[in-house]
Amino acid sequence: MSSIRKRLVVAGGGAAGFFCAVNAARLCPGLEVLVLEKTGKLLSKVKVSGGGRCNVTHNAPDITYMTKRYPRGAHFVRKTFSRFFVTDTIAWFEERGVKLKAEADGRMFPVTDDSQTIIDCLLREVDKYHVKVETNKEVTDLEKGPDGRWRLQLQNGQELKADYICIAAGGYAQAGKFGWLEKTGHSIVPPAPSLFTFNMPGHPITSLMGVATTAHVKIAGTKLQEQGPVLITHWGMSGPAILRLSAWGARDLQALQYTFTAIVNWLPDYNENSLREEWPSLRQELGKQKIHHKNPFGLPQRLWQFLLGLAGIGEELRWADVPAKDQNRLMKLLVCMEFPVKGKTTFKEEFVTCGGITLSEIEPATMESRLVPNLFFAGEVMDVDGITGGFNFQHAWTSGFIAASTVMQMMLSDNPDER
C-alpha cells in the first residue's frame, strides 16, 4: 500500500492474536505484521480446547441466542457479532480447507476432531502472508513517542516501534499484571476465575470418579442454577453444568471465597413432591425386585448404589420392603442432595478469567481504544467471557478480525490513491 512500510505489532500468540495478525497481513499487503508471544508456546488454548479437538465456535441460530451465553460483555458482543459472526468463522476456515461440524449440543469442531488442524491452518496463513512470530517476548511497557509511533519495551530489554498495536495478551489472574496497560490510561475490571470445577474435599462422592449424568445444580442462597451433564471427579464435580455455573457465578463465588453449598437434583424431571407422588406406583410395580438391582430412573448404576448406601438401604432389600424413613432419605438424596464446596480447580488448561479492559473504553465497531488512537484489543484481555461451548473462541475470532479490518481501513484512508 504505502511506500513507507508500516508495522502492526500483536501482543499475544493465542487465537485472537493470530486471527488479527493473519487477517491484517492478508488485507494489507504493505503492512509488516509481528506477533509477540510471552511464553514459548503458540496457540496453547487452541491445542487443548475441547479435549484436544478444539471447540472452534458454537452453532448458534442467531446473534440474540449467542449473546445470552456471555455472563459479561453480552451487549458488547452483540455489536461485534454484527461485523463477524459464527457463519463468517465457518466460512473463513472452510475457504482454507478446514471444514467444521456441529454436535448435538451446538459445539463445533473440525471434522478431523484434532485441534492441530486449526493450528496448522493458522500457521499456513502466517507463512503465506509473511507474518513474523517471536516467542518468549513479553511486552512490559508501551508509550507513544514524539514521532507518533508506539514504543514497546520488552522484558528482555529490547525496544520495538510500531504504528499500530493490538493487545491480545489473554486474561491475567492478578490485577497487578494489567499495570502496563493501565499506563496507557485504560481502567481495569479486576479479574476473577470464570471456568472452574467445584472441589468437595473428603466427600465420599469422589469415590465415583468418572461417573457422568445429567443433573440440575443450584447454589444455595443464590439464584444460580444450571442443568446439564455433571462429571464426578476425584476432587469433586465438573462437566458443562458445573462450568456454566462457575461462569455465571464468577463474581458471587469469588466473594464467597469458593465456600458454599451446591444442591444437586440427580433427577431433573422430578422435584421432591412429584417424586413422592410417583413413589407408591414404583413400589407396587417393582415390589418383588431388589432395589439395588432395579434402578427405574436411568441413573448410572454406581451412582444409584452409592445413593442407596447413603440412605441406609441394604443390598438384599426389595422395593416393597424399604422402611419409610430410608425411603424418605433416598428421595431427598435423589432430588436435593447437598454438597459442601470448598475451593475450586482450574478446568484443565482452558482457564478463562472475567475482568480486563473496561468495555466502555473500546469501540466495538473497530476494536480501537476510545482513549488512545492506533491501540486495539482482541480476545480475553477485555472484560468479555462466555460459558463453555465455543463462545470464548468466537469472541476471539470476531475481535481479531475486526481489529485487522480497521487497520486496513486506516491504511486506506492514509493512502486514498490505493483504494
Q: pLDDT at position 315, please?
A: 92
Cβ(48)–Cβ(348) below 8 Å: yes
Residue 1 has pLDDT above 60, yes or no: no
Mean pLDDT of all residues in 295-299 = 96
Per-residue pLDDT of 144-197, as tens digits, reads 989 989 999 999 999 999 999 999 999 988 889 999 999 999 999 999 999 899
Q: pLDDT-based confidence at 419, cuts 50/70/90?
A: very low
Q: What is the largest CA-CA distance in the chain?
A: 89
- As a whole number, mean pLDDT of residues 8-12 equals 98
Give the pLDDT score at 347.
Answer: 55
- What pLDDT shows up at residue 414? 76
For residue 352, the model assigns a pLDDT of 82
**pLDDT value, residue 418:** 47
Using an 8 Å Cβ cutoff, are 404 and 18 in contact? no
Mapped onto helix, strand or coil, the DSSP state of residue 389 is coil
- pTM (global) more than 0.85: yes
- Structural contact between residues 384 and 393, judged by C-beta atoms closer than 8 angstroms: no
On the question of pLDDT at 417 being above 70, the answer is no
Q: What is the pLDDT of residues 236-288, one digit of tens each?
A: 999 999 999 999 999 999 999 999 999 999 999 999 999 999 999 999 999 99
* Domain annotation for the chain: domains and CATH numbers: 6-193+353-418 (3.50.50.60), 196-346 (no CATH)
Share of the chain above pLDDT 90, in %: 91
- What letter represents residue 369's amino acid? S
Average pLDDT on 18-24 reads: 98
**Rounded CA gap, 162 and 164, in Å?**
6
Is 13 within 8 Å of 7 (Cβ atoms)? no
State the DSSP H helix or E strand holding residue 102, giving kind and residue range, or none if neither. Answer: strand 100-102
pLDDT digits (tens, 9 = 90+) for 368-401: 999 999 999 999 999 999 999 999 999 999 999 9
Q: Give me the residues paired with residue 357 across strands.
A: 188, 382
